[in-house]
Amino acid sequence: MSRSLGLDVGTRTIGIAVSDPLGVIAQPVETYARVGSRKDVQYVAAMVAERQVGRVVVGLPLRTDGSEGPEAESVRRMVESLSGVLDESVDVVFVDERFTTAQAERALLSGNVRRSKRKQVIDQVAAVLILQAHLDSSPQGESF
């Protein structure tokens, strides 16, 4: 069984999380500062290969009414580029990420995390929430 990678793709950063080998628990990895589409895709693809990832779970930023706006289109373009460089055996799936940043903010506030630290890790926490939602909705043993 291989791991799953969770991505919270923003305009300036990408929050990254990874599952344990059994596909049960999502763990934060890092907040990657975006530098350009090509390099961003190369960075994520290298992480997929390095961590032996079988599925990439990407948060899709839908509007509150469920429609897609320019942010979702941007994420889809990035994922299309990423899919073009990943091994064919790696699945890429989207997960509705509405409100994950707000949930991450609440979790960090309840943990008394300072504002400066929250800014550094909020995207990682959002990626964990995105990935964990996917792991929780998948039948056990089918994390990828």
Domain CATH for 119: 3.30.420.140
Amino acid at 20: D
In a domain, 90, yes or no: yes
Question: Does residue 142 lie within any of the structural domains?
Answer: no
Q: What is the pLDDT of residue 116?
A: 67
In which order are the strands placed within the sheet that holds 91-96?
A: 26-33, 13-19, 3-9, 53-60, 91-96
12 in a structural domain = yes
Give the residue numbers spanning the domain of 72: 3-137
3-class SS shares of the chain: helix, strand, coil, % to 5: 45, 25, 30
**Does 143 fall in a domain?**
no
Read off the pLDDT band of 143 (50, 70, 90): very low
pLDDT in tens, 74-131: 999 999 999 999 999 999 999 988 767 666 667 766 776 676 666 667 788 889 999 9
Provide the whole-model pTM.
0.85
pLDDT at 124: 87
Judge whether 46 lies within some domain. Answer: yes
In a domain, 66, yes or no: yes
Surface-to-core class of residue 52, CB atoms within 10 Å of its CB (0-12 exposed, 13-18 middle, 19+ buried): exposed
Structural domains in the chain (count): 1
